[in-house]
A and B are shown apart, each in its own frame.
Chain A
Amino acid sequence: MVPYGTQEWLDEYKARINNSEEYRTAAENWEGELAFVFEAEPDMNWPETRYALLDLWHGECRRAWMGSEQEAEAVPFVIRAPYSRWKQVTRGELDPIKGMMQGKLRLKGDLPTIVRYVRASNELVNLAKDIPTNFPDEE
């Protein structure tokens, strides 16, 4: 089991992204960094906001790292949500498209680009679902 929201989890995620033919096809023209912001929920054993960043380039994840708020603010695409929402997404309990429409996941970035690559985004979520994950509120 890999602890959620850690570099170890991101390393596993990156490896799965780069092994996915489905993702490579869906994101073959995607260029740009993407940040996932996991907002603090102290009562869920997630005391501080964490920032995961992915450098995605033509169907490949070139780098995945836990970064700072400043780094996350500087990338062109950011998706923010409280930790518990991300947990729902990662477990497949919350569809990311519906979550965005409901305002449970908040987007920042060029909307036409995000909409154009919605299948790639779904594939990213599917890949995260398969990682055997240890969630901190269940420890």
Chain B
Amino acid sequence: MSETIESERQTADDPMLAVSNLTKTFSGITAVDGVSFDVQEGEMTGLIGPNGAGKSTTFNCITNLVEPGEGEVVFDGEDITGMQTHDIARDGLVRTFQIARELREMTVLENMMVSPKDQTETALAAVLPGMRNSVRKEEQVMVEQAWETLDFFEIDHLAYEFAGTLSGGQRKLLELARALMADPDMVLLDEPFAGVNPTLEDRLLDRLHELTDQGYTFLIVEHDIDLIMNNCVDVIVMHQGRLLAEGPPSTVRNDERVVDAYLGGEVAE
């Protein structure tokens, strides 16, 4: 079934991220079952589905935190299937986590400074006098950029706090800000709105739209269907490891299978 949907969705321009026939089995249980979808550049795409639909596993397979069993992942024209997680991030595909993974015992500013990928982080450069000076200059530029990014998310007042002391919503903002410091082309957001209060949620959405306008690509896993339907250009629906539907919100919303399997099920709970 998923194949027919996929063929309908073929578009002319190359997608930013193309996942085809992704499959992952955990000791006999198929968590992701032959999933294929595209994400277009400069768009916000939503990935929805009930608990256990395989959304997070799909993310993990794309970034190879979990080794994909079968299938292919092409990012920006390059086959990244099975590439090292850190190399994928360096290529410009950065992910965030469902439960914000702030580096607790480091300050917010230090968290931000971890990300930049072109920094000189060899042991020798840290110790030798001449090289250390150029590292210093490099870091001065990075600090400036970190402050500007913190400004953008309006969390600059938290810069000196230990990340472990932030509220749930602030952590989500920090996580996105930190991901942006890694200079990505595309960010995979795993439930960025979970546990975030409505005010922060609006701010986060605002920023996401602004960043999309600047050319960033986002793929967002989310439980809140309305939020995805109202904000994303394209929506992907997963159910029990399979792709159920893919398309603009208006199409997906009226898809019988989606209504049955997902929306119906959710209401019945």
Is B truly associated with A?
A: no
User: What residues make up the interface of B, taking CB atoms closer than 8 Å to A?
Assistant: none
User: What residues make up the interface of A, taking CB atoms closer than 8 Å to B?
Assistant: none
